[in-house]
Structure 1
């Protein structure tokens, strides 16, 4: 019995650390809100998570938790999903804020209005909590869908740096796990109550680490910089030709870790400028631009006698591709046939 009590105390301590770190993230996001309106959504999200985790801790630690505190925790739970969804939407697909988006927080406002009257026995245990959990899992799945759709797009916004991609993946995935664990505890009855808050701890600390190392995550500078680019058509195509010549000579595409920032650094141009030139002068996103050179290199090797006995997979890796799946998709998109078909056709000629 003593051992169980000690374990529970450790669980509460770990969950408390997660809540405290989430609160710090909320304050940091709030003070950065003027640099990007999305930070206000981030503030609402982290604050809601803080309140929800605090409610969970008090529920386990105290014999009697005040009704208003329980309802405040449920209200915070109800707005965490919409806040994350709207942040994810505006982070991946930048757009102006629409006032109708506030309707996503209607459930939370209703719960706040009845914060002193919604009881456990007559409301939450009678289906209210179940509806809330399904509601939040739905928002988490929608956020995951947005993220998956964005990641699978070939013309995804290459202006988004690798750190930003890791940031949004960790944020969405960590929250989805938290929401599902609350769901699986009450609806499915298969996980401990505090497993959600405990599992959230590594995600929130990882996010804090990313933000500490990259404060620019909360600044939306790319769009403004792109809007300020003023190039004539002649200058645009001249820069485009130089980028193509640069890639042909330097052959950076052979590096599996080649990124937009790497190319921009070698070309001595800002990353947003390179992205702008590729889209407007060459008509390709950075991933497509990069893969076009890799595919051409693969085609040369597949048709060269010296590589007749070399496996296609080895050629793909040597030409800069990280995975066979991405290589096969890119190759067929460019040539209309599979690499093996291309090799077979070329050997027969």
Structure 2
């Protein structure tokens, strides 16, 4: 496979990723329709711009309609980003009519290119300037003032990705060589890949389904078994044995311990064992007790497991802990 073919395939997948994101925001996500539709249209606009570069690279004799659509998408990136940042998430469910004035330049430029494509270079240059201006307005409104702290990480990632895209497209336009054009396509595609994969793991963008809430009586049963019945004192108690003892599936026990203690089941068991040992080490009558014996008494099977767990939990050895407590008496 030659480099040109590899670049076309690589960039085409980036455009396809834009299409997937656009479809999700336009037709599936319904948390805030105006916000979602605006973001979907933004990704379509970016896809149009990158697609135009791919077609122009592969087929230099691209039609005026193709050049015009690429320009229209490019010129819409700035306005759509500005709208996305300014839509009120809680109350606004419509765009003000005056907002449509932002689309005058994209529409006029598209018509001019259809009539006379000789003006395409100048219009693409103006689109670059327009995008930079919109990003400048957004930076002044949201990043250079106190509002920056109110923005979620997604908005910051989106903004800086579009800044990078703007710089790349300027370089591509003024590079005046096929190599510069190819580099521009590759870097633009990388920006899209980054946004695509970041969006997939961002809860602001792709909302994850809520985990099923565990019944309070189940949480209480598990808590009682650990804290009151002290089932952790049983040597080498496993998740399966614990689940069987309280007649609860292992996956529910795992979820419950994470919900109650924010720890895995083995971490919870070791933590309670160590808390019991700490209580004993803080009492003078256990000052001469062999520490390994205390560990075996609370359910640890090996001294090494106990020492590693204790150091992880308390950040000091058992003797160091005991000395620090006894020095207070």
Matches of 1:200 and 1:146, distance apart in 2: 26
CA shift for structure 1 position 60? 0.5
Q: What are the within-5 Å matches in structure 2 for residues 4-83 of structure 1?
A: 6-32=2-28, 34-36=30-32, 37-83=34-80
Q: What are the within-5 Å matches in structure 2 for residues 1-349 of structure 1?
A: 6-32=2-28, 34-36=30-32, 37-90=34-87, 97-114=95-112, 116-119=114-117, 121=118, 123-125=119-121, 127-149=122-144, 152-153=146-147, 156-157=149-150, 165-187=152-174, 192-217=180-205
Indicate if the aligned counterparts of 1:49 and 1:80 stay in contact, CA closer than 8 A.
yes
Q: Whose radius of gyration is greater, 1 or 2?
A: 2
TM-score, length basis structure 1: 0.51
C-alpha spacing 1:204/1:136, structure 2 compared with 1 (3 Å): same
- Structure 1 match to 2:216: none
Indicate if the aligned counterparts of 1:23 and 1:46 stay in contact, CA closer than 8 A.
yes
CA shift for structure 1 position 87? 0.7
- Structure 1 match to 2:316: none
Matches of 2:128 and 2:153, distance apart in 1: 27
Matches of 2:173 and 2:61, distance apart in 1: 20
Indicate if the aligned counterparts of 2:175 and 2:181 stay in contact, CA closer than 8 A.
no
Count residues with an aligned counterpart: 206
Q: Which runs of 5+ in 1 are unaligned?
A: 220-264, 267-349
Residue aligned with 2:124, SS: helix
| Alignment root-mean-square deviation, CA | 3.1
Indicate if the aligned counterparts of 2:168 and 2:188 stay in contact, CA closer than 8 A.
no
TM-score, length basis structure 2: 0.54
Deviations 1:52-95 (A, max 9, x none): 11110000101411111111111111111111121122379975
Indicate if the aligned counterparts of 1:32 and 1:218 stay in contact, CA closer than 8 A.
no
Matches of 2:174 and 2:36, distance apart in 1: 33
Matches of 1:107 and 1:18, distance apart in 2: 26
